[in-house]
Structure formats: C-alpha cells, structure tokens
Amino acid sequence: MLRTFLKPTNLGQLQTRLHWVLRITAACCFIGHGAWGVITKEGWLPFFRSQGIPDDVAWKLMPIIGALDII
C-alpha cells in the first residue's frame, strides 16, 4: 500500500499527496509541541526566560499557549 502511495500516476496526484503529507506532519508538530506546553514541562522555561518572562508567569502561560497550539 505504501509503495503505491509513493508512486503517483500524474502530477496532480503527486501534489495532492504532498499537500496532505505536509498538512498531517504540520498538525502533528503543533499537537506534539502543544501537549508539552499543556503538561508544563520544565524544559520550556529557558525559552520564556530568553524573552524576559519570569518563571512564575511562564508556568501559568505554558498550558494556555500549549492549548492554543493544539487548537
């Protein structure tokens, strides 16, 4: 099945398949990173600190930003 998916018969079919592959992978990226924000991982604190956001505010913002990332 995968072999036939990777061998489109024409340019339009290739464009459609690439379109959906890119949409799905982008969605997975947003959902994955959003999940890390929702569960408030400490590893995200340096990113907030680099923007001058204190840790106590970062802990409160993480789940909000994560949820928005998923939506």
List pLDDT tens digits, range 26-71: 999 999 999 999 999 999 999 999 999 999 999 999 999 999 999 9
The residue segments making up the domain with residue 35 are 27-71
Tell me if 16 is assigned to some domain. no
Tell me if 21 is assigned to some domain. no
Tell me if 13 is assigned to some domain. no
Domain count, the chain: 1
**CB 70, CB 30: distance < 8 Å:** yes
Tell me if 51 is assigned to some domain. yes
Tell me if 42 is assigned to some domain. yes
pTM of the model: 0.71
Tell me if 6 is assigned to some domain. no
Tell me if 70 is assigned to some domain. yes
CA dihedral of 3, 23, 65, 48, whole degrees rounded to 10: 70
- DSSP of 5-63: HHS-SSHHHHHHHHHHHHHHHHHHHHHHHHHHHHTT-GGGHHHHHTTT--HHHHHHHHH
